[in-house]
Structure 1
């Protein structure tokens, strides 16, 4: 029943989108988690708080343009939209290197967010509804591999100097542009999808969210939690846990590998059961591991908590996407995903700002404890949701990809 078939999980039409997603998220993770904090604090003499503001700006811009990016993808060539996006990303990175003030740096970070915004929408529109969670597990594996390997590899490279890091980041910007230009992005029957206005699309999504009011705070809170800890992950590991860059990279590789290896099996399992406990247990384990991390003082303890986080993340991600897809109208799927992604992005924007304030008032451990509390509440919220929310009958039918 849970037998994995490679062609059904990652068919030919999905692979180019998955590969581009890997490159984009590698670039995003390396830029936000490793390069930006390192460059601003050690080379531009700015504070860690500014890094948090720059991260918020990146995700604010990414979230703000996603509905518009979806609108463009529903109406114009995918290649053109992606190519323009990577040109904007390249401009944002160049502006980062030439920035003479903190405000210019935040603008540059925002341009990077705008440029990478369409990539995720291109990926999710290629998913077949029949085995959504399993294929999303495969797509998430590429996403997670890129997002995890980016900071890991760049941390290792930065030990050799900032110039090498700059060259590597520029190489991935160029690679993304090449993939967007030479690969074919298409889905079956896409041309038959009925186009609707952005106003009508938003109204349709809003009506479906009203049918399950608990989903909206869950969307915002879970991304808020992630945003709270991301800007301070490296600083916490290096200062509070006394890890070296190499040790941090090793832990991130182990946790990321755990996620990547388990995403597809977890997705297949969820497709078979549609159980709310994937979300309840996933968020619960994540909360426990984050709280436990603040009590660790050794490499072994930190590694154990990271592996638990990886297991929890693999458990909840495919189930969460399958749940979210039930609120995407069929008339204009790219725009629908753009609207929902913007709601998710609200939390990512708020998170770093909240995290910066919590660090200023408390310690480097404070954001992790706050995030643990939020994720514990989210896990409990899924117990309160009605059973039909997780069933096979959808509130909005999705046109088959």
Structure 2
């Protein structure tokens, strides 16, 4: 069985425990902010939507803006220690939530929790790249993300179902889950990410600039339409939310199913074609969505979107794994994740402005243009420069 995995057998058990710990924390976080607070905050804390939505905004900003420093801590202080700190901060936030009758207290708890979680993804992705079997780096990174992200939906749906009827029971459920996570994290307390030997030749820092366009654009383009996709689907495409969910499930399922094959191709033949063609497919899908496709076309577009994402994800991860410097990799990865977070933060505001000034199709066309420009940029870059 181990020969089919993209991670080395040595250290795999510790790595999978870390993946589980990060996944559980993601589930608790989404369950808390999106599943619990909309029901718990008005009824038990006397706080309105502005207060608890701002808590989430402050949480996200504190996490994303500190990921460079968080990555440095994960690698230098010890990843087991920073994971334990994040688990403890989450547990403390949940424990003190019933006392947060003032909005500022809820915001302070959210910010402290966000700061503690800034170490998780830079550390986890760096570790995944370090223990990857040589030649399987793209699959190792892509599969790591696919093991963590489903917990976001599990936490949201599971806690939301309980919270709408019994908010206090939902908080107890979150405390229990976070308590288990804290115990799991403490069992990993001594763990440190392996530090490679220093490179003989200095890494050209200007090369880092070439990662920034895709880092920002890959989140900015979909974020342009993220907040009004339900309304667009209903008013322009005559789709109910459940039908839209079915299309998203089709695209996501296809992307996940193709990932072992596209990841293998990236590891064997390189990341260039996958990265460029994935971006191009996503550009075409967003462009066609702007012009009211038929139901049959929507299913085809969902499939093409899934194919595009299954190409882009291992292509991007392969690009990073083979070209990021080994020294301070977690800190640099954290910096890229901050750029990705800026795309998430700015996209909805720009999309809303485009919708208001140019019409509801404009954000889709802008997203398509973003993906297309990225595809052209990396085509030219790979043609002009020689990357290992």
Count matched residues.
377
Instruction: Please report how far the alpha carbon of residue 315 of structure 1 lies from its aligned counterpart in structure 2 after TM superposition.
Output: 1.1
Q: Following the alignment from structure 2 to structure 1, what is the Cα–Cα distance between the partners of residues 281 and 137?
A: 24
1:306–1:90 CA distance, 2 compared to 1 (3 A): farther
Matched, 1:142 2:147: yes
Q: Following the alignment from structure 1 to structure 2, what is the Cα–Cα distance between the partners of residues 328 and 267?
A: 18
Q: What's the TM-score once normalised by structure 1's chain length?
A: 0.73
Structure 2 equivalent of residue 6 of structure 1: 4
Q: Deviations over 1:326-360 (max 9, x none)?
A: 45332333223223323333323322433454455
Superposition pairs of residues 149-298 of structure 1, within 5 angstroms: 149-151=154-156, 166=171, 169-183=174-188, 186=191, 190=194, 207-208=204-205, 210-211=206-207, 213-233=209-229, 246-247=242-243, 249-295=245-291
Asked whether the equivalents of residues 73 and 334 of structure 1 are also in contact (C-alpha less than 8 Å), the reply is yes
Q: Deviations over 1:3-35 (max 9, x none)?
A: 994344474243223323333444455566766
1:276–1:78 CA distance, 2 compared to 1 (3 A): closer
Structure 1 equivalent of residue 80 of structure 2: 79
What residue ranges of structure 2 are gaps of 5+ in the alignment?
Answer: none
Q: Deviations over 1:33-57 (max 9, x none)?
A: 766788899996647xx95x76654
Indicate the larger mover: 361-370 or 8-17.
361-370
Is the radius of gyration larger for structure 1 or structure 2?
2
Q: Following the alignment from structure 1 to structure 2, what is the Cα–Cα distance between the partners of residues 59 and 225?
A: 19
Superposition pairs of residues 1-400 of structure 1, within 5 angstroms: 5-9=3-7, 11=9, 12=12, 13-28=14-29, 46=49, 57-91=58-92, 109-126=110-127, 127=129, 128=132, 130=134, 131-151=136-156, 166=171, 169-183=174-188, 186=191, 190=194, 207-208=204-205, 210-211=206-207, 213-233=209-229, 246-247=242-243, 249-295=245-291, 304-358=300-354, 361=357, 366-387=362-383, 391=387, 393=388
Instruction: Please report how far the alpha carbon of residue 249 of structure 1 lies from its aligned counterpart in structure 2 after TM superposition.
Output: 4.7
What residue ranges of structure 1 are gaps of 5+ in the alignment?
Answer: 196-203, 394-401
Q: Following the alignment from structure 1 to structure 2, what is the Cα–Cα distance between the partners of residues 102 and 153?
A: 26
CA RMSD of aligned residues (A): 4.3
1:371–1:347 CA distance, 2 compared to 1 (3 A): same
Q: What's the TM-score once normalised by structure 2's chain length?
A: 0.75
Q: Following the alignment from structure 2 to structure 1, what is the Cα–Cα distance between the partners of residues 163 and 242?
A: 11
Q: Highest relative contact order (Cα 8 Å, sep 6+), 1 or 2?
A: 1
Q: Deviations over 1:112-157 (max 9, x none)?
A: 4323222212322222272211211221221343345555556666
